[in-house]
Amino acid sequence: MYSSDLIEVLKTFDNKTLKRLHKFLQSPYFNSNQKVVDLFKYISRYAPAYTDRRLAKQQVFKYFFPKENYETSRGASLRRLMSSLFKLVEKFIVYEAIDQEKQVLNNHIHVLKFYSKNTLDNQFQKFFKRYVQNFQDNYPYRSFEFYQNEHLVQDTLFEFYSSRDQKKCEDVLQKSINNIDIEYLTNKLRFACLIYSHQKVRQSNLTISFLSEVLHAIQHFKIEVYPALHIYRHATFFLQDVQNEEDFFQFRALFDKHAQKFPIYEARQLYAYAKNYCVKQVINGQTKYYQIMFKLYKSEIEQKVIYANEKIQPVDLANMVNLGLYLKEFDWVETLLVEHKHKILNQNATDIFQYNMARLLFEKSEYAAAMDMLKTANFKDVHYTLAAKRLLARLYYETDEFDLLESILNSLKVFIHRNTIITEDHKAVNRNFARFLYRIMNTAPRDAIKIEKIQTEINATNALTERTWLLKKLEELNR
């Protein structure tokens, strides 16, 4: 039962959602089987891990069907009961979704269609003004979803007026065709950007028909009225070719002004396009893009776009820390880590926080504090354990604690050798780091021949971490 679809779905629900699901299951409108409610109550006792031995299939079967033999029926009664509960859980997911803005509009449109079909004209007009028109007027976004919603509304109005008022019917038709155009053009470019982004990381034969015609057509629409169209137009150009810098800067200017007009998932994707463009420029030697990327991350935080359910992905936090440390924005990095200590979406959030705080202290040359942070930490994740050992090795080197350095390098080698979880690629990266640092430690200052040889080997080694720092230490030896 531990790995059943039912348990896997329930694991994603927090306590508040489980309480709402309980109420849903108790409603006679949705469920008339009390045993389904009892099964849910039994399972939910063991949230959030759902690993208790009392969730073993035989145990659950015995609890609910004490007079039946599990082996004889192979648990058929329990499977049926679990299936009934799972179907209701899926209905609950659908029911929860109607709280979303788009679903609310769809539900309102169903009401309008009912009034129209049953010639309840007065009720139609009242409901339209009270709910639908108000909903659209207050809808915060102006991307493709807005025009999609507008099209749905106009389609319903056309159906209503077609047998009642031909003049209004013409007005509705004009608005409807305009909304269809904007919806199509915006969505076309949205998917064009997704395709270009996909092709940067994986070769594919995906094609985009009529793209040049779409890009040309957009020029006739005013930027201030349809900003999303022009944001996607510029994004398409800079995703096509990294040399299209002017399009990137026009995209940034427009997006900075209109970012809040996009749903969070869409704004997050647009930020990703911009950040990936900055990465490519940095790879090409354009270091000014570090600062631009830093501002993009800050903007994502300010607008809360970077979060998913108020949590932050470890990779996003790591990228921001790396960027902040590179730019020596130490105060900002410290604030970032402290404010996000309990928002990291990872079971080893404490490891992530402690390691990155130690990195910050290291970059600030507060070596004693960094050592204390690492020595008191109890890392559970193997990769953070390795990273902490490497950082401790660098700390010992910087403080001339060469006996301790040799000890930690030997410890790192033994850990790599004995660990069965780490991949061979990760083992090679860490072995090479330990090997080069050991050689640097045993290299005399101004031994130009030996230093040059190690530099050449470091630059020729692909599987290596902390490369920049190792080369910097060699340069210091050569002075």
- 149 and 92 share a domain? no
- Identity of the residue numbered 341: K
Strand partners, 308: 311
Average pLDDT, stretch 232-246?
A: 96
**Residue-level pLDDT at 344:** 93
Residue 341 falls inside a structural domain: yes
Strand partners, 312: 344
**Residue-level pLDDT at 17:** 93
- 53 and 190 share a domain? no
Across the chain, mean pLDDT equals 92
What lies within 8 Å, CB to CB, of 67 at 6+ separation is: none
Residues 352-397: tens digit of each pLDDT: 999 999 999 999 999 999 999 998 888 988 999 999 999 999 999 9
- 166 and 298 share a domain? yes
- 340 and 203 share a domain? no
- 281 and 146 share a domain? yes
* CA–CA distance, 415 with 408 (Å, rounded to integer): 10
Residue 106 falls inside a structural domain: no
Q: Which of 46, 38, 34, 33 is nearest to 1 (CA)?
A: 46
Whether 274 and 256 have beta carbons less than 8 Å apart is answered as no
Dump the DSSP string for 292-324.
Answer: HHHHHHHHHHHTT-S-BTTBB-HHHHHHHHHHH
* CA–CA distance, 57 with 78 (Å, rounded to integer): 8
b/e 148-168 (16+ beta carbons within 10 angstroms → b): bbbbbbbbbbbebbeeeeeee
**In the chain, how many domains are there?**
4
Whether 361 and 369 have beta carbons less than 8 Å apart is answered as yes
Q: Which of 257, 214, 258, 209 is nearest to 237 (CA)?
A: 214
* CA–CA distance, 391 with 357 (Å, rounded to integer): 12
Q: Which tokens sit at 349?
A: 């959030």
Q: Which of 259, 277, 303 is the last residue of a domain?
A: 303
b/e 220-243 (16+ beta carbons within 10 angstroms → b): ebebeebbbbbbbbbbbbbbeebe
* CA–CA distance, 388 with 379 (Å, rounded to integer): 8
What's the whole-model pTM score?
Answer: 0.80
* CA–CA distance, 30 with 26 (Å, rounded to integer): 8
**Residue-level pLDDT at 101:** 52
- 187 and 285 share a domain? yes
Is residue 124 within a helix (H) or strand (E), and if so which, with residue range? helix 121-127
Residue 361 falls inside a structural domain: yes
- 361 and 343 share a domain? yes
* CA–CA distance, 461 with 429 (Å, rounded to integer): 9
* CA–CA distance, 156 with 261 (Å, rounded to integer): 25
Dump the DSSP string for 241-265.
Answer: -TT-HHHHHHHHHHHHHHGGGS-HH
Share of the chain above pLDDT 70, in %: 98
Dump the DSSP string for 103-147.
Answer: HHHHHHHHHHHHHHHTT-HHHHHHHIIIIIHHHHHT----SHHHH
Residues 312-353: tens digit of each pLDDT: 999 999 999 999 999 999 999 999 999 999 999 888 899 999
- 294 and 180 share a domain? yes
Residues 144-186: tens digit of each pLDDT: 888 888 888 899 999 999 989 989 999 999 999 998 999 999 9
Q: Residue 443 gets which letter from DSSP? A: P
- 225 and 331 share a domain? no
Residue 129 falls inside a structural domain: no
Residues 181-231: tens digit of each pLDDT: 999 999 999 999 999 998 887 777 888 899 999 999 998 899 889 999 999
- 173 and 248 share a domain? yes
**CA-atom Rg of the chain in angstroms:** 30
- Which residues form the domain of 278? 140-303
Residue 359 falls inside a structural domain: yes
Average pLDDT, stretch 234-242?
A: 95
